[in-house]
Chains A and B, each alone.
Chain A
Amino acid sequence: MLNIPLWNRIVIWGLVALGLILALPNLFYGRVEQANDARAAIVQAGATPEREAEAAGWPDWLPHGLVNLGLDLRGGAHLLAEVQVADVYASRMDALWPELRDALRGARDEVGTFRRVDEGGDVLRIRLSDPSGMARALEIARGFAEPVSSLTSAGSNDIDVAGSGAELTIQLSEAEREAVDDRTIRQSLEIIRRRVDEVGTREPTIQRQGADRILIQVPGIGSAEELKSLIGTTAQLTFNAVVSRTTDGNANPGTGNMILPMMDDPNQFMILERTPVVTGEELTDSQPEFDQNGRPAVTFRFNPSGARAFGDYTADNIGSPFAIVLDEEVISAPVIQSYIGGGSGIITGNFTVEESTELAVLLRAGALPAELTFLEERTIGPELGQDSIEAGRIACIVAFVAVMVLMGASYGLFGLFANIALLINVGLIFGLLSLIGATLTLPGIAGIVLTIGMAVDANVLVFERIREELKTARGPSRAIELGYERALSAIIDANITTFIIATILFTLGSGPVRGFAVTLGIGILTSVFTAIFVTRAMIATWYGRRRPKTIEV
């Protein structure tokens, strides 16, 4: 019979109420968002009267999870970056060279003379004057190998050393490359996250994608270009020894050196030693300030090992210039006046206040371990997103009303039940989206509209079945019951297949498409729930009260 146990009804209506309460904050989007931001600010930066007032805009005891709006709705920038992990291989080789050089020099009697013949690639090539020294040279070079520190490749060494004829080649081993790749991506992720957080935008997405890619989505930022400059494509800060100055950008810098332009004057170039004295990785702090003349400047402070290296270098080179290099440009090349022992200093240049602030942020966040190239970039203006939300909202309402009219006209009272279920259904979709913190995108709105159209399907299946069962005239109660029972297999099969599609879309899609898959999938779950349980509970209650002799569906 149509008796649904009380506990069953409680569970059904309880779930509906829960879903609707979770969806509630989305009706007051602006206010709740403001209150949430204010609460976060109070936790972080302490309470102020304005923040307290804003936080009070939405009661604490109500749920305050909101549906995240995707970039296409809120506006912002999207970047897909590829980390040039091979950069790190080269810098590892560069770092190995001085130590190896000293070790080989120590065994000059056996090895003979030698020189480095590569130009800073990921393979270190050393040519010996006499091939007979190769055996000893290999032995020394292999002494630098260390076991790879990862679980999957235990037992292998970090460098591959080989010699043929008079040439000794050293490169990172396959296992070490993998380990380095992983470390580099993690480090890049962390640094990008810190840099984006410095600006304090809301809910940025920073994710690793595949082997060497990073997806960065920042809502509310003006353009992809702005985001790129914030992340700092190559913001590698180094302090290098200066060899000479020149005005010829094509001059041959000589082995082990490089030629870089000055930031203030692109026609001036400096020849620098390739191996830096200190790198930005050893910076611990950096602040925008003003120098004695009141011009914007940036202060910096090194960690102990950086301070020692910097101190030693300044002590040995008083009177000669050294270069501060950022983004392959020489920011300035001051002359060392005295031994700088404390590990802190100040960079002056032709900065504006904004530039000095941004530079300090970049320095503080640390240098990226490798360069990023951008494979994909998208900028969406906030007005366009607002227009899309508006259009989506109107389309939703119109679709809603039209579907409800059609259902009401076709199924009468039962259509009304289905319509109430449809309203609950959309509420539940928003409730679930808020609960799992999913992101609503423009195709996601399309998914909701499509769900409005398709959600009635399960009810239609049941109602049509009830109509058929009524013809066999076994009484309305039995017809309703059979209608639900017999329509079930069609409902389940039809929705499982659609759910499979939604899952595939979610797995293989990205960004907006994924947003569509999420709303479609959730829409399937909620529409099956509302059709099988909610309308049934409504119909059972109605039937139980009225006990009509005949029903019309």
Chain B
Amino acid sequence: MRLKLVPDETNIDFFKAATVTFGASCVAMVASIVIWAVMGLNFGIDFQGGTTIRTQSVEAVDVGEYRDAIAPLNLGDVAISEVFDPSFGNDENVAMIRIQAQDGEESVTQQTIAAVEGALQEVDPSITFPSVESVGPKVSGELIQTAFLAVAASLGAILVYIWLRFEWQFSVGAVAALFHDVILTIGLFSLLQIRFDLATIAAILTIIGYSINDTVVIFDRLRENLIKYKQRPLRDVMNLSVNETLSRTVMTSGTTLIALIALLVLGGDVIRGFVFAITWGVVVGTYSSVFVAKNIVLFLGVKRDWTKPDKNDGNQFAKIDA
């Protein structure tokens, strides 16, 4: 007896609720942009400059106490948060301290870090500092540029590749779907104020990679079916293609999500933000392949005849037909 996530024969009309699904996507995108504009992103030190110190202690973390200890140093904005993870024992109490880039300092000063560490050690003698990371404002500015460039280059490369392999309508549809995924991910990060750093950019690129993978599989089937059923309306051929590949879509998303959830729960807190972004991306990426990409292709229309054009077509000779 086989486990069947999707029945053998499905005949779902994916355009039935097109206004709802496509509308929801549009609303979610607008909402994401608004949230992004209003709340901003919780940039990590990679993009903002500054220092993060990870502390570990056998005693419970008292954020207020830490704050009071650091306050006299006048370091400006200091964010302290406790970190929880199922893998921590009772004697592992972890916190992250983030200190903003200090005015007028191009590079990082060790004195600042030493002062913070000293102040914390006075409060809690058992405290250790498993990791200390500092990024100067000069580098962080460049990292933002590089990150932006990476996302833009990926979208551009995919636009060109899909255009070469399919048609320009497919290419626009695919990239619109990717854009949708990226915006929604940024929106979620902004809404939940999850730290947004270089790893998040890597996650976004991975989402792009996964989502395009999914979209291409559906497009590939669509291309095949367009040749096979020349007379059927585009809408029906699209539904048929999605239905035919549905079982694969669900299966692959399923295995990927299972792997990612294992990593999310068990992979430790250091990469949790990164894995969370990818997990979210697999969900929206799958959704956008089915509900966004092909709607745009349908809207744009597509060349139906994939056979080679007749060489004698369009010359000065008239055609005669029976």
Count residues of B near A (Cβ-Cβ below 8 Å). Answer: 75
> Which of B87, B210, B244 has a CB less than 8 Å from the CB of A391?
B87
Would you call B283 an interface residue if the criterion is a C-beta within 8 Å of the partner chain's C-beta atoms? no
Residues of A496-545 whose CB lies within 8 A of B: 496-498, 500-502, 504-505, 508-509, 512-513, 516-517, 520
> Knowing A496-B161, A513-B199 touch, does A504 contact B153 (C-beta < 8 A)?
yes
- Which of the 9-residue segments A245-253, A318-326, A406-414 touches chain B? A406-414
Residues A493 and B165 in contact, CB atoms below 8 Å apart: yes
Give the docked Cα–Cα distance between A391 and B269 (Å).
9
Q: How far is the CB of A175 from chain B (nearest CB, A)?
A: 26
> Knowing A374-B107, A374-B136 touch, does A509 contact B270 (C-beta < 8 A)?
no
Residues A454 and B252 in contact, CB atoms below 8 Å apart: yes
> Knowing A384-B270, A456-B252, A501-B206 touch, does A224 contact B259 (C-beta < 8 A)?
no
Quick one: closest A residue to B252, CB to CB?
Answer: A457
- Which of the 9-residue segments A139-147, A285-293, A353-361, A395-403 touches chain B? A395-403
Would you call B54 an interface residue if the criterion is a C-beta within 8 Å of the partner chain's C-beta atoms? yes
Would you call B127 an interface residue if the criterion is a C-beta within 8 Å of the partner chain's C-beta atoms? no
Quick one: closest A residue to B264, CB to CB?
Answer: A395
- Which of the 9-residue segments B57-65, B182-190, B215-223, B292-300 touches chain A? B215-223
Q: How far is the CB of B118 from chain A (nearest CB, A)?
A: 13
- A493: chain B residues at CB < 8 Å are 165, 216, 219-220
Chain A: interface size category: 35 or more
Would you call A461 an interface residue if the criterion is a C-beta within 8 Å of the partner chain's C-beta atoms? yes
Residues B260 and A449 in contact, CB atoms below 8 Å apart: yes
> Knowing A375-B139, A395-B262 touch, does A223 contact B132 (C-beta < 8 A)?
yes
Would you call A373 an interface residue if the criterion is a C-beta within 8 Å of the partner chain's C-beta atoms? yes
Would you call A490 an interface residue if the criterion is a C-beta within 8 Å of the partner chain's C-beta atoms? yes
Give the docked Cα–Cα distance between A468 and B147 (Å).
42
Would you call B149 an interface residue if the criterion is a C-beta within 8 Å of the partner chain's C-beta atoms? yes
Would you call B284 an interface residue if the criterion is a C-beta within 8 Å of the partner chain's C-beta atoms? no
Residues A509 and B135 in contact, CB atoms below 8 Å apart: no
Would you call B95 an interface residue if the criterion is a C-beta within 8 Å of the partner chain's C-beta atoms? no
Give the docked Cα–Cα distance between A225 and B136 (Å).
16
Would you call A301 an interface residue if the criterion is a C-beta within 8 Å of the partner chain's C-beta atoms? no
Residues A387 and B268 in contact, CB atoms below 8 Å apart: yes
Would you call B226 an interface residue if the criterion is a C-beta within 8 Å of the partner chain's C-beta atoms? no
Would you call B21 an interface residue if the criterion is a C-beta within 8 Å of the partner chain's C-beta atoms? no
Residues of A452-477 whose CB lies within 8 A of B: 452-454, 456-457, 460-461, 464, 467-468
Would you call B30 an interface residue if the criterion is a C-beta within 8 Å of the partner chain's C-beta atoms? no
> Which of B132, B165, B198, B206 has a CB less than 8 Å from the CB of A224?
B132
- B128: chain A residues at CB < 8 Å are 381
Residues B131 and A381 in contact, CB atoms below 8 Å apart: yes
Residues A402 and B258 in contact, CB atoms below 8 Å apart: yes
Residues A450 and B259 in contact, CB atoms below 8 Å apart: yes
Residues B132 and A378 in contact, CB atoms below 8 Å apart: yes
Residues B202 and A443 in contact, CB atoms below 8 Å apart: yes
Residues of B1-15 whose CB lies within 8 A of A: 2-5, 8
Q: How far is the CB of A436 from chain B (nearest CB, A)?
A: 20
Would you call A228 an interface residue if the criterion is a C-beta within 8 Å of the partner chain's C-beta atoms? yes
- A495: chain B residues at CB < 8 Å are 213
Quick one: closest A residue to B86, CB to CB?
Answer: A391
Residues of B184-236 whose CB lies within 8 A of A: 198-199, 201-202, 205-206, 208-210, 212-214, 216-217, 219-221, 224
Give the docked Cα–Cα distance between A454 and B146 (Å).
27
Give the docked Cα–Cα distance between A57 and B198 (Å).
40
> Knowing A381-B130, A409-B2, A457-B252 touch, does A395 contact B54 (C-beta < 8 A)?
no
Would you call B157 an interface residue if the criterion is a C-beta within 8 Å of the partner chain's C-beta atoms? yes
Residues of A392-428 whose CB lies within 8 A of B: 392, 394-395, 398-399, 402-403, 406-407, 409-412
Quick one: closest A residue to B9, CB to CB?
Answer: A471
Q: How far is the CB of B168 from chain A (nearest CB, A)?
A: 16
Q: How far is the CB of A131 from chain B (nearest CB, A)?
A: 40
> Which of B4, B157, B275 has a CB less than 8 Å from the CB of A500?
B157
> Which of A410, A453, A490 has a CB less than 8 Å from the CB of B5?
A410
Q: How far is the CB of A227 from chain B (nearest CB, A)?
A: 11
Give the docked Cα–Cα distance between A379 and B263 (Å).
24
> Which of B217, B244, B251, B262 has a CB less than 8 Å from the CB of A494?
B217
Residues B161 and A446 in contact, CB atoms below 8 Å apart: no
Residues B107 and A82 in contact, CB atoms below 8 Å apart: yes
Quick one: closest A residue to B253, CB to CB?
Answer: A453
Q: Which of A224, A395, A398, A516 has the most CB of B within 10 A?
A: A395
Give the docked Cα–Cα distance between A260 and B118 (Å).
29
- A402: chain B residues at CB < 8 Å are 258-259, 262
> Knowing A80-B139, A223-B132, A493-B220 touch, does A450 contact B278 (C-beta < 8 A)?
yes
Q: How far is the CB of B54 from chain A (nearest CB, A)?
A: 7
> Knowing A395-B262, A402-B259, A456-B255 touch, does A384 contact B139 (C-beta < 8 A)?
no
> Which of B205, B220, B257, B267 has a CB less than 8 Å from the CB of A501?
B205
Q: How far is the CB of A345 from chain B (nearest CB, A)?
A: 32
> Knowing A388-B270, A490-B220 touch, does A508 contact B165 (C-beta < 8 A)?
no
Residues A399 and B216 in contact, CB atoms below 8 Å apart: no
Residues A381 and B129 in contact, CB atoms below 8 Å apart: yes
Residues of A225-247 whose CB lies within 8 A of B: 225, 228
Interface residues of B (CB under 8 A from A): 2-5, 8, 54, 87, 106-108, 110, 128-136, 138-139, 146-147, 149-150, 153-154, 157-158, 161-162, 165, 198-199, 201-202, 205-206, 208-210, 212-214, 216-217, 219-221, 224, 244-245, 247-248, 251-252, 254-260, 262-263, 265-268, 270-271, 274-275, 278
Can you add 12 more A-B contacts, CB < 8 Å, to A384-B54, A403-B258, A497-B162?
Answer: A377-B108, A379-B129, A380-B130, A443-B202, A443-B274, A446-B267, A454-B256, A494-B214, A494-B216, A498-B209, A504-B154, A509-B202
Interface residues of A (CB under 8 A from B): 72, 80, 82, 223-225, 228, 373-381, 383-384, 387-388, 391-392, 394-395, 398-399, 402-403, 406-407, 409-412, 442-443, 445-446, 449-450, 452-454, 456-457, 460-461, 464, 467-468, 486, 489-490, 493-498, 500-502, 504-505, 508-509, 512-513, 516-517, 520, 552
8 closest A-B pairs by CB: A453-B256, A453-B259, A391-B268, A409-B3, A501-B209, A399-B259, A381-B130, A490-B220
7 of the cross-chain contacts (CB-CB < 8 Å) are A376-B135, A378-B134, A381-B129, A391-B87, A392-B267, A406-B258, A504-B157
